[in-house]
Protein backbone atom coordinates (compact mmCIF):
# COMPACT_ATOMS: atom_id res chain seq x y z
CA UNK A 1 0.00 0.00 0.00
CA UNK A 2 1.52 3.45 -0.91
CA UNK A 3 2.37 5.65 2.07
CA UNK A 4 0.00 8.59 2.55
CA UNK A 5 1.66 11.87 3.58
CA UNK A 6 0.11 15.22 4.49
CA UNK A 7 3.06 17.32 3.28
CA UNK A 8 2.04 18.66 -0.11
CA UNK A 9 4.76 20.20 -2.33
CA UNK A 10 4.63 23.98 -2.41
CA UNK A 11 5.05 25.98 -5.61
CA UNK A 12 6.85 29.08 -4.41
CA UNK A 13 5.70 32.37 -5.92
CA UNK A 14 6.12 36.08 -5.19
CA UNK A 15 6.34 36.66 -1.42
CA UNK A 16 3.25 38.92 -1.37
CA UNK A 17 1.31 38.12 -4.51
CA UNK A 18 1.99 34.41 -4.63
CA UNK A 19 1.21 33.33 -8.21
CA UNK A 20 -1.58 35.87 -8.79
CA UNK A 21 0.08 37.64 -11.71
CA UNK A 22 1.20 34.51 -13.58
CA UNK A 23 -2.24 33.03 -13.15
CA UNK A 24 -3.95 36.14 -14.50
CA UNK A 25 -1.75 36.40 -17.61
CA UNK A 26 -0.92 32.77 -18.29
CA UNK A 27 -3.09 30.55 -16.12
CA UNK A 28 -2.94 27.33 -18.09
CA UNK A 29 0.73 27.51 -19.07
CA UNK A 30 1.71 28.32 -15.48
CA UNK A 31 -0.24 25.34 -14.16
CA UNK A 32 1.23 23.03 -16.81
CA UNK A 33 4.76 24.11 -15.85
CA UNK A 34 4.02 23.61 -12.12
CA UNK A 35 2.47 20.19 -12.83
CA UNK A 36 5.68 19.17 -14.63
CA UNK A 37 7.76 20.31 -11.65
CA UNK A 38 5.63 19.15 -8.74
CA UNK A 39 3.33 16.44 -10.08
CA UNK A 40 -0.46 16.14 -9.79
CA UNK A 41 -0.83 17.72 -6.30
CA UNK A 42 0.82 20.91 -5.11
CA UNK A 43 -0.07 24.04 -3.20
CA UNK A 44 0.16 27.66 -4.20
CA UNK A 45 -0.99 31.13 -3.11
CA UNK A 46 -3.09 33.52 -5.17
CA UNK A 47 -5.68 36.17 -4.34
CA UNK A 48 -4.81 36.06 -0.64
CA UNK A 49 -5.84 32.40 -0.56
CA UNK A 50 -3.89 29.16 -0.41
CA UNK A 51 -5.04 26.53 -2.85
CA UNK A 52 -4.17 22.90 -3.29
CA UNK A 53 -4.03 22.27 -7.02
CA UNK A 54 -5.18 18.95 -8.47
CA UNK A 55 -3.95 18.57 -12.04
CA UNK A 56 -3.57 15.98 -14.78
CA UNK A 57 -5.69 13.15 -16.12
CA UNK A 58 -5.52 11.31 -12.76
CA UNK A 59 -6.97 14.38 -11.02
CA UNK A 60 -9.78 14.69 -13.57
CA UNK A 61 -10.75 11.05 -13.08
CA UNK A 62 -10.56 11.41 -9.29
CA UNK A 63 -12.76 14.52 -9.32
CA UNK A 64 -15.25 12.90 -11.71
CA UNK A 65 -15.60 9.94 -9.32
CA UNK A 66 -15.43 11.60 -5.91
CA UNK A 67 -16.47 15.25 -6.13
CA UNK A 68 -20.11 14.69 -5.16
CA UNK A 69 -19.31 13.18 -1.77
CA UNK A 70 -16.08 15.03 -0.91
CA UNK A 71 -16.24 18.60 -2.27
CA UNK A 72 -18.44 21.68 -2.24
CA UNK A 73 -18.74 24.75 -4.45
CA UNK A 74 -20.78 26.71 -1.91
CA UNK A 75 -18.07 29.10 -0.62
CA UNK A 76 -17.14 30.02 -4.16
CA UNK A 77 -20.56 30.63 -5.75
CA UNK A 78 -23.08 31.31 -2.97
CA UNK A 79 -22.35 35.05 -2.92
CA UNK A 80 -22.67 35.18 -6.70
CA UNK A 81 -26.08 33.49 -6.49
CA UNK A 82 -27.20 35.83 -3.71
CA UNK A 83 -26.44 38.81 -5.94
CA UNK A 84 -28.77 37.28 -8.54
CA UNK A 85 -31.52 36.82 -5.98
CA UNK A 86 -30.98 33.30 -4.60
CA UNK A 87 -28.02 31.57 -3.01
CA UNK A 88 -29.62 28.34 -4.21
CA UNK A 89 -27.92 28.93 -7.53
CA UNK A 90 -27.06 25.72 -9.41
CA UNK A 91 -23.29 26.21 -9.29
CA UNK A 92 -23.47 26.94 -5.55
CA UNK A 93 -25.19 23.65 -4.72
CA UNK A 94 -23.38 20.41 -4.01
CA UNK A 95 -24.11 16.72 -3.31
CA UNK A 96 -27.74 15.58 -3.40
CA UNK A 97 -29.07 19.14 -3.44
CA UNK A 98 -27.13 19.80 -6.63
CA UNK A 99 -28.10 16.46 -8.23
CA UNK A 100 -31.82 17.19 -7.73
CA UNK A 101 -31.57 20.81 -8.95
CA UNK A 102 -29.53 19.80 -11.98
CA UNK A 103 -32.12 17.17 -12.95
CA UNK A 104 -34.86 19.82 -12.69
CA UNK A 105 -32.94 22.41 -14.73
CA UNK A 106 -31.45 20.08 -17.37
CA UNK A 107 -34.36 20.25 -19.89
CA UNK A 108 -33.91 24.03 -20.08
CA UNK A 109 -30.40 23.51 -21.46
CA UNK A 110 -31.52 21.21 -24.25
CA UNK A 111 -29.61 21.65 -27.49
CA UNK A 112 -32.99 21.61 -29.25
CA UNK A 113 -33.66 25.15 -27.98
CA UNK A 114 -30.89 26.22 -30.33
CA UNK A 115 -31.28 23.80 -33.22
CA UNK A 116 -34.97 24.74 -33.58
CA UNK A 117 -33.95 28.33 -34.30
CA UNK A 118 -30.93 28.10 -36.57
CA UNK A 119 -32.36 30.44 -39.20
CA UNK A 120 -33.24 33.08 -36.61
CA UNK A 121 -29.77 32.81 -35.15
CA UNK A 122 -28.24 33.56 -38.57
CA UNK A 123 -30.58 36.53 -38.98
CA UNK A 124 -29.40 37.82 -35.61
CA UNK A 125 -25.73 37.32 -36.53
CA UNK A 126 -26.40 39.33 -39.67
CA UNK A 127 -27.64 42.27 -37.56
CA UNK A 128 -24.05 42.78 -36.41
CA UNK A 129 -22.16 41.45 -39.42
CA UNK A 130 -24.23 43.48 -41.89
CA UNK A 131 -22.41 46.57 -40.61
CA UNK A 132 -18.95 45.18 -41.39
CA UNK A 133 -16.84 46.88 -44.05
CA UNK A 134 -13.54 45.58 -45.43
CA UNK A 135 -10.69 46.78 -43.22
CA UNK A 136 -9.34 46.17 -39.72
CA UNK A 137 -11.68 45.11 -36.86
CA UNK A 138 -9.94 46.27 -33.75
CA UNK A 139 -12.38 44.82 -31.25
CA UNK A 140 -13.67 41.54 -32.67
CA UNK A 141 -14.54 40.36 -29.16
CA UNK A 142 -17.12 43.17 -28.86
CA UNK A 143 -18.58 42.16 -32.23
CA UNK A 144 -19.01 38.51 -31.35
CA UNK A 145 -20.30 39.35 -27.87
CA UNK A 146 -23.14 41.32 -29.41
CA UNK A 147 -24.01 38.40 -31.72
CA UNK A 148 -23.96 35.89 -28.88
CA UNK A 149 -26.08 38.06 -26.53
CA UNK A 150 -28.70 38.41 -29.24
CA UNK A 151 -28.71 34.68 -29.89
CA UNK A 152 -28.74 33.48 -26.28
CA UNK A 153 -31.47 36.01 -25.50
CA UNK A 154 -33.66 34.75 -28.35
CA UNK A 155 -33.08 31.03 -28.11
CA UNK A 156 -33.35 30.81 -24.34
CA UNK A 157 -35.74 33.61 -23.39
CA UNK A 158 -37.36 34.73 -26.67
CA UNK A 159 -35.72 38.17 -26.37
CA UNK A 160 -32.71 39.11 -28.51
CA UNK A 161 -30.68 41.22 -26.13
CA UNK A 162 -27.88 42.65 -28.31
CA UNK A 163 -28.64 46.25 -27.33
CA UNK A 164 -27.99 45.27 -23.70
CA UNK A 165 -24.58 43.78 -24.36
CA UNK A 166 -22.65 46.37 -22.34
CA UNK A 167 -24.95 46.08 -19.31
CA UNK A 168 -24.78 42.31 -19.34
CA UNK A 169 -21.04 42.29 -19.78
CA UNK A 170 -20.49 44.79 -16.95
CA UNK A 171 -22.93 43.12 -14.55
CA UNK A 172 -21.63 39.59 -15.12
CA UNK A 173 -17.91 40.32 -15.19
CA UNK A 174 -18.12 42.53 -12.07
CA UNK A 175 -20.03 39.85 -10.21
CA UNK A 176 -17.58 37.13 -11.24
CA UNK A 177 -14.50 39.20 -10.39
CA UNK A 178 -15.78 40.36 -7.01
CA UNK A 179 -17.57 37.26 -5.76
CA UNK A 180 -15.88 34.29 -7.48
CA UNK A 181 -12.28 35.05 -8.46
CA UNK A 182 -12.14 37.84 -5.81
CA UNK A 183 -9.77 39.82 -8.00
CA UNK A 184 -11.79 43.05 -7.74
CA UNK A 185 -12.77 45.01 -4.62
CA UNK A 186 -16.16 44.46 -3.01
CA UNK A 187 -16.83 48.22 -3.28
CA UNK A 188 -17.50 47.73 -7.01
CA UNK A 189 -20.82 46.16 -6.05
CA UNK A 190 -21.99 49.60 -4.85
CA UNK A 191 -20.78 51.52 -7.87
CA UNK A 192 -23.66 53.24 -9.72
CA UNK A 193 -22.53 51.79 -13.06
CA UNK A 194 -22.64 48.24 -11.75
CA UNK A 195 -25.95 48.76 -9.93
CA UNK A 196 -27.54 50.16 -13.08
CA UNK A 197 -26.18 47.33 -15.24
CA UNK A 198 -27.38 44.67 -12.81
CA UNK A 199 -30.81 46.32 -12.51
CA UNK A 200 -31.13 46.28 -16.30
CA UNK A 201 -30.02 42.64 -16.51
CA UNK A 202 -32.55 41.62 -13.84
CA UNK A 203 -35.22 43.64 -15.57
CA UNK A 204 -34.49 41.83 -18.85
CA UNK A 205 -34.83 38.46 -17.15
CA UNK A 206 -37.96 39.46 -15.18
CA UNK A 207 -39.64 40.84 -18.28
CA UNK A 208 -38.84 37.66 -20.21
CA UNK A 209 -40.34 35.54 -17.39
CA UNK A 210 -43.45 37.74 -17.20
CA UNK A 211 -43.97 37.49 -20.97
CA UNK A 212 -43.87 33.72 -21.00
CA UNK A 213 -47.29 32.92 -19.54
CA UNK A 214 -48.12 29.61 -17.89
CA UNK A 215 -48.89 27.11 -20.65
CA UNK A 216 -46.73 25.73 -23.47
CA UNK A 217 -46.14 28.30 -26.23
CA UNK A 218 -48.29 28.05 -29.36
CA UNK A 219 -46.79 30.84 -31.47
CA UNK A 220 -43.05 30.25 -31.06
CA UNK A 221 -40.55 27.49 -30.23
CA UNK A 222 -40.31 26.36 -26.62
CA UNK A 223 -37.33 27.80 -24.72
CA UNK A 224 -35.33 27.78 -21.47
CA UNK A 225 -37.83 29.94 -19.58
CA UNK A 226 -40.79 27.79 -20.65
CA UNK A 227 -38.93 24.83 -19.18
CA UNK A 228 -38.23 26.67 -15.92
CA UNK A 229 -41.89 27.61 -15.59
CA UNK A 230 -42.98 24.04 -16.30
CA UNK A 231 -40.37 22.50 -13.96
CA UNK A 232 -41.56 20.81 -10.77
CA UNK A 233 -39.69 19.95 -7.56
CA UNK A 234 -39.66 16.30 -6.38
CA UNK A 235 -42.78 17.26 -4.31
CA UNK A 236 -44.58 18.36 -7.46
CA UNK A 237 -44.34 22.08 -6.62
CA UNK A 238 -43.41 24.84 -9.11
CA UNK A 239 -39.97 26.36 -8.60
CA UNK A 240 -39.58 28.94 -5.87
CA UNK A 241 -39.71 32.37 -7.69
CA UNK A 242 -36.29 33.50 -6.40
CA UNK A 243 -34.66 30.24 -7.54
CA UNK A 244 -36.47 30.48 -10.87
CA UNK A 245 -35.27 34.03 -11.43
CA UNK A 246 -31.65 33.29 -10.47
CA UNK A 247 -31.73 30.20 -12.72
CA UNK A 248 -33.14 32.19 -15.65
CA UNK A 249 -29.90 34.26 -15.60
CA UNK A 250 -27.97 30.99 -16.12
CA UNK A 251 -27.54 31.07 -19.92
CA UNK A 252 -26.24 34.65 -19.80
CA UNK A 253 -23.92 34.30 -16.82
CA UNK A 254 -22.52 30.92 -17.88
CA UNK A 255 -22.81 31.20 -21.65
CA UNK A 256 -22.09 34.74 -22.78
CA UNK A 257 -18.41 35.33 -22.00
CA UNK A 258 -17.45 31.70 -22.49
CA UNK A 259 -18.97 31.40 -25.98
CA UNK A 260 -18.04 34.94 -27.09
CA UNK A 261 -14.42 34.62 -26.02
CA UNK A 262 -14.07 31.13 -27.57
CA UNK A 263 -15.61 32.36 -30.82
CA UNK A 264 -13.30 35.39 -30.95
CA UNK A 265 -10.28 33.16 -30.32
CA UNK A 266 -11.56 30.71 -32.96
CA UNK A 267 -11.64 33.45 -35.59
CA UNK A 268 -7.92 33.89 -34.91
CA UNK A 269 -7.09 30.16 -35.04
CA UNK A 270 -9.24 29.49 -38.13
CA UNK A 271 -8.10 32.48 -40.15
CA UNK A 272 -4.39 32.27 -39.39
CA UNK A 273 -3.57 29.36 -41.70
CA UNK A 274 -4.63 30.05 -45.28
CA UNK A 275 -4.96 26.38 -46.36
CA UNK A 276 -7.07 25.56 -43.33
CA UNK A 277 -9.21 28.64 -43.83
CA UNK A 278 -9.89 27.71 -47.46
CA UNK A 279 -10.98 24.18 -46.47
CA UNK A 280 -13.22 25.60 -43.73
CA UNK A 281 -14.76 28.15 -46.08
CA UNK A 282 -15.77 25.28 -48.38
CA UNK A 283 -17.53 23.51 -45.48
CA UNK A 284 -19.18 26.76 -44.43
CA UNK A 285 -20.42 27.48 -47.95
CA UNK A 286 -21.93 23.97 -48.15
CA UNK A 287 -23.87 24.62 -44.96
CA UNK A 288 -25.70 27.59 -46.48
CA UNK A 289 -25.95 26.33 -50.07
CA UNK A 290 -29.40 24.68 -49.95
CA UNK A 291 -31.44 27.00 -47.76
CA UNK A 292 -31.39 27.57 -44.01
CA UNK A 293 -28.88 25.45 -42.11
CA UNK A 294 -30.08 22.27 -40.42
CA UNK A 295 -28.68 20.25 -37.54
CA UNK A 296 -27.98 17.39 -39.99
CA UNK A 297 -26.03 19.68 -42.34
CA UNK A 298 -24.05 21.05 -39.40
CA UNK A 299 -22.92 17.53 -38.50
CA UNK A 300 -21.25 17.31 -41.93
CA UNK A 301 -18.92 20.26 -41.17
CA UNK A 302 -16.45 17.86 -39.59
CA UNK A 303 -13.25 19.81 -40.12
CA UNK A 304 -14.80 22.94 -38.65
CA UNK A 305 -16.02 20.96 -35.67
CA UNK A 306 -12.52 19.52 -35.20
CA UNK A 307 -10.97 22.99 -35.54
CA UNK A 308 -13.27 24.30 -32.80
CA UNK A 309 -12.37 21.35 -30.55
CA UNK A 310 -8.72 22.13 -31.19
CA UNK A 311 -9.37 25.80 -30.30
CA UNK A 312 -10.91 24.66 -27.00
CA UNK A 313 -7.94 22.37 -26.38
CA UNK A 314 -5.28 25.05 -26.89
CA UNK A 315 -7.25 28.03 -25.58
CA UNK A 316 -9.81 26.72 -23.07
CA UNK A 317 -11.47 29.79 -21.60
CA UNK A 318 -12.24 28.21 -18.22
CA UNK A 319 -9.30 25.87 -17.59
CA UNK A 320 -9.76 25.58 -13.81
CA UNK A 321 -12.60 25.37 -11.31
CA UNK A 322 -12.57 26.04 -7.56
CA UNK A 323 -13.84 23.70 -4.87
CA UNK A 324 -13.48 23.13 -1.11
CA UNK A 325 -13.08 19.73 0.51
CA UNK A 326 -15.90 18.74 2.88
CA UNK A 327 -13.91 15.84 4.39
CA UNK A 328 -10.26 14.68 4.29
CA UNK A 329 -9.35 13.20 0.92
CA UNK A 330 -6.44 11.08 -0.23
CA UNK A 331 -5.06 11.60 -3.70
CA UNK A 332 -1.79 10.40 -5.23
CA UNK A 333 -0.22 9.63 -1.87
CA UNK A 334 -1.27 12.88 -0.18
CA UNK A 335 -3.87 13.55 2.49
CA UNK A 336 -5.73 16.84 1.99
CA UNK A 337 -7.69 18.03 5.04
CA UNK A 338 -11.37 19.02 5.18
CA UNK A 339 -12.04 22.71 4.51
CA UNK A 340 -9.17 23.10 2.02
CA UNK A 341 -9.71 25.27 -1.07
CA UNK A 342 -8.86 23.38 -4.25
CA UNK A 343 -8.07 24.48 -7.75
CA UNK A 344 -8.99 21.68 -10.13
CA UNK A 345 -6.85 22.32 -13.21
CA UNK A 346 -8.91 20.17 -15.56
CA UNK A 347 -7.29 21.41 -18.80
CA UNK A 348 -3.66 20.67 -17.89
CA UNK A 349 -3.68 17.40 -19.93
CA UNK A 350 -4.57 19.46 -23.04
CA UNK A 351 -0.97 20.63 -23.16
CA UNK A 352 0.85 17.38 -22.35
CA UNK A 353 2.73 15.77 -25.24
CA UNK A 354 2.01 12.26 -23.95
CA UNK A 355 -1.66 12.77 -24.90
CA UNK A 356 -1.47 15.43 -27.61
CA UNK A 357 1.84 15.18 -29.50
CA UNK A 358 3.38 18.54 -30.36
CA UNK A 359 0.85 20.12 -27.99
CA UNK A 360 1.48 23.77 -28.94
CA UNK A 361 0.70 23.13 -32.62
CA UNK A 362 -2.83 23.83 -33.89
CA UNK A 363 -3.80 20.58 -35.61
CA UNK A 364 -7.57 20.01 -36.04
CA UNK A 365 -6.93 16.57 -37.59
CA UNK A 366 -5.91 15.22 -34.20
CA UNK A 367 -9.65 15.13 -33.36
CA UNK A 368 -10.60 13.26 -36.55
CA UNK A 369 -10.30 9.53 -37.37
CA UNK A 370 -7.94 7.78 -37.36
CA UNK A 371 -6.14 9.95 -34.76
CA UNK A 372 -8.92 10.93 -32.32
CA UNK A 373 -6.29 11.68 -29.68
CA UNK A 374 -8.88 12.96 -27.20
CA UNK A 375 -10.40 9.47 -26.99
CA UNK A 376 -7.16 7.68 -26.06
CA UNK A 377 -8.07 7.62 -22.37
CA UNK A 378 -10.57 9.27 -20.03
CA UNK A 379 -9.80 12.62 -18.40
CA UNK A 380 -7.46 14.09 -21.02
CA UNK A 381 -9.82 16.43 -22.89
CA UNK A 382 -12.08 18.49 -20.65
CA UNK A 383 -12.76 22.04 -21.89
CA UNK A 384 -16.17 21.91 -20.18
CA UNK A 385 -14.76 20.56 -16.84
CA UNK A 386 -15.36 17.17 -15.24
CA UNK A 387 -17.60 15.85 -12.48
CA UNK A 388 -21.11 16.73 -11.36
CA UNK A 389 -20.88 20.40 -12.41
CA UNK A 390 -19.72 19.63 -15.98
CA UNK A 391 -21.08 22.33 -18.26
CA UNK A 392 -24.84 21.92 -18.77
CA UNK A 393 -24.71 24.17 -21.84
CA UNK A 394 -21.92 22.33 -23.71
CA UNK A 395 -24.30 21.16 -26.43
CA UNK A 396 -25.66 24.68 -26.87
CA UNK A 397 -22.11 26.08 -26.94
CA UNK A 398 -21.09 23.56 -29.64
CA UNK A 399 -23.99 24.57 -31.89
CA UNK A 400 -23.53 28.32 -31.40
CA UNK A 401 -19.79 28.15 -32.03
CA UNK A 402 -20.13 26.08 -35.18
CA UNK A 403 -23.02 28.06 -36.62
CA UNK A 404 -21.45 31.46 -35.97
CA UNK A 405 -17.97 30.48 -37.14
CA UNK A 406 -19.45 28.98 -40.32
CA UNK A 407 -21.66 31.99 -40.97
CA UNK A 408 -18.76 34.44 -40.57
CA UNK A 409 -16.46 32.33 -42.79
CA UNK A 410 -19.20 32.16 -45.43
CA UNK A 411 -19.82 35.90 -45.40
CA UNK A 412 -16.26 37.26 -45.18
CA UNK A 413 -12.68 36.47 -45.89
CA UNK A 414 -10.98 37.21 -42.62
CA UNK A 415 -7.26 37.46 -41.96
CA UNK A 416 -4.99 37.87 -38.96
CA UNK A 417 -2.62 40.88 -39.14
CA UNK A 418 0.90 39.57 -39.94
CA UNK A 419 2.40 41.04 -36.76
CA UNK A 420 -0.07 39.18 -34.53
CA UNK A 421 1.67 35.85 -33.99
CA UNK A 422 0.74 35.03 -30.40
CA UNK A 423 -2.56 35.47 -28.69
CA UNK A 424 -2.36 36.92 -25.17
CA UNK A 425 -5.12 35.83 -22.83
CA UNK A 426 -6.15 37.43 -19.56
CA UNK A 427 -7.99 35.17 -17.13
CA UNK A 428 -10.42 37.07 -14.91
CA UNK A 429 -11.93 34.55 -14.44
CA UNK A 430 -12.94 33.66 -18.03
CA UNK A 431 -10.01 33.95 -20.47
CA UNK A 432 -10.30 36.92 -22.83
CA UNK A 433 -7.98 37.60 -25.78
CA UNK A 434 -6.25 40.90 -25.01
CA UNK A 435 -4.44 41.64 -28.25
CA UNK A 436 -6.83 40.17 -30.81
CA UNK A 437 -7.30 42.13 -34.03
CA UNK A 438 -8.66 40.84 -37.30
CA UNK A 439 -8.92 42.09 -40.83
CA UNK A 440 -11.98 41.81 -43.06
CA UNK A 441 -10.31 41.27 -46.42
CA UNK A 442 -13.50 41.19 -48.50
CA UNK A 443 -17.11 40.10 -48.52
CA UNK A 444 -17.18 36.53 -49.91
CA UNK A 445 -20.96 36.21 -50.21
CA UNK A 446 -23.86 38.55 -49.57
CA UNK A 447 -26.31 37.47 -46.85
CA UNK A 448 -28.07 34.30 -48.09
CA UNK A 449 -31.57 35.11 -49.43
CA UNK A 450 -33.31 33.31 -46.56
CA UNK A 451 -31.40 35.54 -44.11
CA UNK A 452 -31.85 38.75 -46.10
CA UNK A 453 -35.60 38.17 -46.25
CA UNK A 454 -36.13 37.19 -42.66
CA UNK A 455 -36.79 38.66 -39.27
CA UNK A 456 -36.09 36.49 -36.24
CA UNK A 457 -39.36 34.89 -35.14
CA UNK A 458 -39.05 36.40 -31.69
CA UNK A 459 -41.16 38.23 -29.22
CA UNK A 460 -44.68 38.48 -28.06
C1 LIG B 1 -17.31 27.54 -24.81
C2 LIG B 1 -18.33 27.69 -24.01
C3 LIG B 1 -18.41 27.19 -22.59
C4 LIG B 1 -17.43 26.72 -21.76
C5 LIG B 1 -15.94 26.58 -22.05
C6 LIG B 1 -18.07 26.36 -20.52
C7 LIG B 1 -17.41 25.83 -19.42
C8 LIG B 1 -18.03 25.49 -18.24
C9 LIG B 1 -17.33 25.00 -17.09
C10 LIG B 1 -15.82 24.78 -16.98
C11 LIG B 1 -18.25 24.77 -16.11
C12 LIG B 1 -17.99 24.27 -14.70
C13 LIG B 1 -17.91 25.45 -13.74
C14 LIG B 1 -17.59 25.03 -12.32
O15 LIG B 1 -17.72 23.86 -11.98
O16 LIG B 1 -17.19 25.88 -11.51
C17 LIG B 1 -19.54 25.12 -16.66
C18 LIG B 1 -20.73 25.00 -15.97
C19 LIG B 1 -21.95 25.40 -16.48
N20 LIG B 1 -22.20 25.89 -17.73
FE21 LIG B 1 -20.82 26.18 -19.21
N22 LIG B 1 -19.41 26.63 -20.60
C23 LIG B 1 -19.67 27.13 -21.86
C24 LIG B 1 -20.89 27.52 -22.36
C25 LIG B 1 -22.09 27.42 -21.70
C26 LIG B 1 -23.37 27.83 -22.24
C27 LIG B 1 -23.60 28.37 -23.65
C28 LIG B 1 -24.30 27.62 -21.27
C29 LIG B 1 -25.80 27.84 -21.29
C30 LIG B 1 -26.51 28.25 -22.30
C31 LIG B 1 -23.61 27.07 -20.11
C32 LIG B 1 -24.21 26.69 -18.92
C33 LIG B 1 -23.54 26.16 -17.85
C34 LIG B 1 -24.19 25.83 -16.60
C35 LIG B 1 -25.68 25.99 -16.28
C36 LIG B 1 -23.19 25.34 -15.74
C37 LIG B 1 -23.37 24.88 -14.29
C38 LIG B 1 -23.58 23.38 -14.23
C39 LIG B 1 -23.74 22.87 -12.82
O40 LIG B 1 -23.41 23.57 -11.87
O41 LIG B 1 -24.23 21.74 -12.67
N42 LIG B 1 -22.27 26.99 -20.41
N43 LIG B 1 -19.37 25.56 -17.95
- Per residue in 43-93, pLDDT tens? 998 877 889 999 999 999 999 999 999 999 999 999 999 999 998 899 999
Q: Which residues of 57-71 are buried (b: 16+ CB within 10 A; e: fewer)?
A: bbbbbbbbeebbebb
pLDDT at site 16 = 62
Please state the atom number of ligand 1 nearest to the C-alpha of residue 250.
Answer: 35
C-alpha span between 275 and 95 (Å, rounded)? 48
Q: Residue 89: what are its φ and ψ, rounded to 5°?
A: -90, 145
The DSSP secondary-structure symbol of 2 reads: P
User: Which residue has the CA at smallest separation from atom 34 of ligand 1?
Assistant: 392
Residue 460 pLDDT exceeds 70: no
Phi, psi of 46 (to 5 degrees): -160, 145
Contact between 264 and 401 under an 8 Å Cβ cutoff? The reply is no
Residue 251, ligand 1, Cβ within 6 A: yes
- The answer for 353, left when phi > 0, alpha when psi is -120 to 50, beta otherwise, is alpha
3-class DSSP state of 425: strand
Q: Is 220 in the pocket of ligand 1 (CB under 6 A)?
A: no
- Which SS3 state, helix, strand or coil, does residue 212 take? coil
Q: Whole-angstrom Cα distance, residue 264 to residue 432?
A: 9
Mean pLDDT of the chain: 93
Return the pLDDT at 17: 63
Please enumerate in sequence order all residues whose Cβ is within 8 A of that of 31, keeping only pairs 6 or more positions apart, or say none: 23, 53, 55, 319, 320, 343, 345, 348
The stretch 304-322 carries a mean pLDDT of 97
Pick from 259, 279, 268: nearest CA to 437: 268
User: Can you tell me the distance from the alpha carbon of 317 to that of 118, in angstroms, rounded to the nearest whole number?
Assistant: 25
Residue 77 alpha carbon to ligand 1 centre in Å: 13
For the segment 171-225, what is each residue's pLDDT rounded down to a tens digit? 999 999 999 988 899 999 999 999 999 999 999 999 999 999 777 788 888 999 9
Whole-number Å distance between alpha carbons of 344 and 324: 10
Q: Is residue 90 lining ligand 1, measured as CB closer than 6 Å?
A: yes
Q: How far is CA 442 from CA 14, 403, 422, in A?
A: 48, 20, 24
Distance between first and last Cα of the chain:
65
Q: What is the distance in A from the centroid of ligand 1 to the CA of 251?
A: 9
Measured from the Cβ of residue 15, the count of other Cβ atoms closer than 10 Å reads: 7
Stretch among 4-13, 41-50, 323-332, 408-417 having the lowest mean pLDDT: 4-13
Distance 238 CA to ligand 1 centre (A): 24
What's 375's DSSP letter?
G
Q: What predicted TM-score, i.e. pTM, was given to this entire model?
A: 0.96
CB contact set of 423 (below 8 Å; sequence gap of 6+): 265, 268, 315, 433, 435, 436
Q: Domain 20-452 carries which CATH code?
A: 1.10.630.10
By C-alpha distance, which of 405, 411, 179, 415 is closest to 312? 405
Nearest ligand 1 atom to the CA of 90 is: 40
- Distance from the alpha carbon of residue 44 to the mean position of ligand 1, in angstroms: 25
246 Cβ closer than 6 Å to some ligand 1 atom: no
**359 φ/ψ angles, rounded to the nearest 5 degrees:** -60, -25
Quick count: other Cβ atoms within 10 Å of Cβ 214?
A: 8
Specify the pLDDT at position 453: 83
Q: Which of 315, 299, 301, 300 is nearest to 263 (CA)?
A: 315
The DSSP element (H or E) to which 242 belongs, if any, is helix 241-248
pLDDT value of residue 459: 39
pLDDT at position 6, please?
Answer: 67
**Is residue 30 predicted with pLDDT exceeding 70?**
yes
**Taking 80 as the threshold, does the pLDDT of residue 15 lie above it?**
no
> How many Cα neighbours within 13 Å face the side chain of 1?
5
The band of 340, judged by pLDDT with boundaries at 50, 70 and 90, is: very high
Domain regions of the chain by residue span:
20-452
Distance CA 162, CA 149 (A): 5
CA 176–ligand 1 middle distance (angstroms): 14
CB atoms closer than 10 angstroms to residue 444: 15
Amino acid sequence: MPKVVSQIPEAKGHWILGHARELRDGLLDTLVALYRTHGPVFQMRAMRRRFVVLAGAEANNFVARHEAETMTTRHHYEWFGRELGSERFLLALSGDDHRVARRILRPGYSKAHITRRLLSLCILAERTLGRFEPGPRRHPLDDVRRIVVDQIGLALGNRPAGEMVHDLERAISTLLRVTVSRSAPRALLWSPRFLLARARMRNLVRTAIAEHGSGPPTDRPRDHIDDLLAARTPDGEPLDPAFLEASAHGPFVAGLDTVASTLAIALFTLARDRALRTALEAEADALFADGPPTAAAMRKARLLHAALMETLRLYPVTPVVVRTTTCPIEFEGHRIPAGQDLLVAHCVPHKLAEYFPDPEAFVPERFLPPREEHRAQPGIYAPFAVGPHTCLGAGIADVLLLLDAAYILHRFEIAVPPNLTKLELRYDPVAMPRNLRLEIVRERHPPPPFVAAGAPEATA
